[in-house]
Structure 1
Amino acid sequence: MLVFIKKKSINIFRENKMAGHSKWSNTKHRKAAQDYKKNQKSMKLIRNITSASKKYGNNPNINFCLRAAIIKATNNNISKNSIKKAIQRGSLNFEKKKKIQQIKYAGCNKEGIIILISYISKNILDIQSKIHKIFKKYNFFFIHYLKIKYLFQECIIFLFQKTKKNEEILINLAIENNAYDIDTNSFKKIKIIINTFDAKNIKKEFKKFSLKILKTDTKVIAFKKHQIISLTIEKFKKFLKELKKIPEIQNISHNAFTKI
């Protein structure tokens, strides 16, 4: 009987020991999982701050993405020191990658007049805000460049000295090579506007006839022109003048049917 009791007591002791061990392990794993989730969330928020400052700079008054990331981080109890460090990391990369870029900005109004602007700048956000103000003034709104890309084509402009001999040759060459436009109105010069695809062929023919090109230039031209209805021509001229005042803007092309 004594042996039986001893065995029973040992079994009870072992059962209690095992039950206590499993309870502690469950709480330990649960806590570890909760801590991992918290760390992941905080790391994601810090990563958003660094990426925003890397792309658009460390000023939250101009950089709205950075401002939103900082507000999110503060709401999730992330310290000011860690936010500062994240901004510094991003801004260092931003200064390294700060190079001159050529960007295309497109806009449209309710009548269907589309304007395409190409500009070169280091500070993208500053110029975009200037363009946005002018757009708002003349009831234009922003459109993504890729959506209206098919409506425009890149052309090359060839400029020649006007003489009696070369005028007829140039007109014939332009017609044969499907030129977009031929301008012979000026007294001293002839202008040929042609597609970039056909430009190589016409250049070879210029060499055959020993025609000297004075100047070459590139221009983006709309396939179809759109008539101005409510917006007057004078108002549209003012709109273009205001855009041309921005020194970083290189080219402005539109589909408006006007002699501008």
Structure 2
Amino acid sequence: MAGHSKWANIKHKKAATDAKRGKIWTRLIKEITVAARLGGADPNANPRLRLAIDKAADANMPKDNVNRAVQRGSGGLEGANYEEIRYEGYGINGAAIIVDCMTDNRVRTVAEVRHAFNKYGGNMGTEGSVAFLFKHCGQFFFAPGTDEDKLMEVALDAGAEDVIADEEGGFEVICDPYEFSNVKEKLEAAGLKAEVAEVVMKPATETVFTGEDAQKMQKLLDAIENLDDVQEVYTNAVIEE
């Protein structure tokens, strides 16, 4: 994929995230609640919870909201009991899509996800139908102008798997998902702040969409992302602006 399209998509994603802050908070509260339930209330001993709390801080979520979600998950407060579900499917021209959900009503969620796929030209697949096209990993994007030698040294010393330069002069750092918090902490301690830092399902290959197909694919992705029970959407489609 060309460097221009990568950075355009990163900026587009950040802008879209900022525009949906209220929804982002709702999703983070679910993630914190489930992470605390599964791994305990101590973020130092629960990497998933630590990551969710870091994301909440980046999204300017009040600490009281975070603490209540942790208490709810660890049994201190009553609340909805969410379960995690992953759906897989195909978009325009067979593009692969993974949809991660948290729900208190599995029947409602699968109906809503299937409806979104069908309405906007996609279709749901079976479990495992597209997941093999993605890698579960930590991913950091650094803007063009970042000191390559410093980034390479710090990232690899911290346990990153790879540092990849793109055509525009930016860099992508990949790490094991369970090393994400450690790598992030060491990068930031060295003054290296990523534009985007997430644990993701990274596609092995990408397909660029332009023109009418790009518009159709974006409508499908937006419809899925706007569902209340959807936490994350991953795709190997790259939408050119």
Aligned residue among 206, 212, 218 for 1:237: 218
The alignment status of 1:151 with 2:130, answered yes or no, reads no
Count of residues paired in the alignment: 158
The alignment status of 1:203 with 2:183, answered yes or no, reads yes
Helix, strand or coil at the partner of 1:99? coil
Match of 2:98 in 1: 116
Provide the C-alpha distance between the structure 2 equivalents of 1:237 and 1:134, rounded to a whole number of angstroms: 12
Identical columns (%):
17
Q: Is the 8 A contact 1:159 1:213 kept in 2?
A: no
Give the alignment of 1:54-69 within 5 angstroms: none
Q: Which residue type is aligned with residue 179 of structure 1?
A: D
> 1:130 and 1:191, CA in 2 relative to 1: closer, same or farther beyond 3 A?
farther
Q: Is the 8 A contact 2:135 2:204 kept in 1?
A: yes
The alignment status of 1:179 with 2:162, answered yes or no, reads yes
> 1:130 and 1:257, CA in 2 relative to 1: closer, same or farther beyond 3 A?
same
By percentage of residues, which structure has more helix? 1
Q: TM-score, normalised by structure 1?
A: 0.47
Aligned residue among 217, 225, 230 for 2:198: 217
Aligned residue among 214, 224, 227 for 1:246: 227
Q: Is the 8 A contact 2:88 2:131 kept in 1?
A: no
Q: Which residue type is aligned with residue 240 of structure 1?
A: L
* Larger Rg computed on CA atoms: 1
**Superposition deviation, residue 213 in structure 1:** 6.2
Provide the C-alpha distance between the structure 1 equivalents of 2:141 and 2:210, rounded to a whole number of angstroms: 34
Provide the C-alpha distance between the structure 2 equivalents of 1:204 and 1:218, rounded to a whole number of angstroms: 11
Q: Is the 8 A contact 2:139 2:172 kept in 1?
A: yes
Q: Is the 8 A contact 2:92 2:217 kept in 1?
A: no
Match of 1:106 in 2: 88
- Structure 1, unmatched stretches of 5+, are 1-97
Provide the C-alpha distance between the structure 1 equivalents of 2:163 and 2:99, rounded to a whole number of angstroms: 21
- Cα RMSD (Å): 4.2
Give the alignment of 1:36-55 within 5 angstroms: none
Q: Which residue type is aligned with residue 221 of structure 1?
A: K
Provide the C-alpha distance between the structure 1 equivalents of 2:214 and 2:110, rounded to a whole number of angstroms: 25
Q: Is the 8 A contact 1:154 1:221 kept in 2?
A: yes
**Superposition deviation, residue 179 in structure 1:** 2.6
Provide the C-alpha distance between the structure 2 equivalents of 1:149 and 1:203, rounded to a whole number of angstroms: 25
Helix, strand or coil at the partner of 1:234? helix
Provide the C-alpha distance between the structure 2 equivalents of 1:198 and 1:178, rounded to a whole number of angstroms: 12
Provide the C-alpha distance between the structure 1 equivalents of 2:237 and 2:130, rounded to a whole number of angstroms: 14
Aligned residue among 111, 132, 136 for 1:129: 111
> 1:244 and 1:147, CA in 2 relative to 1: closer, same or farther beyond 3 A?
closer
Q: Is the 8 A contact 2:86 2:98 kept in 1?
A: yes
- Structure 2, unmatched stretches of 5+, are 1-79
**Superposition deviation, residue 219 in structure 1:** 1.1
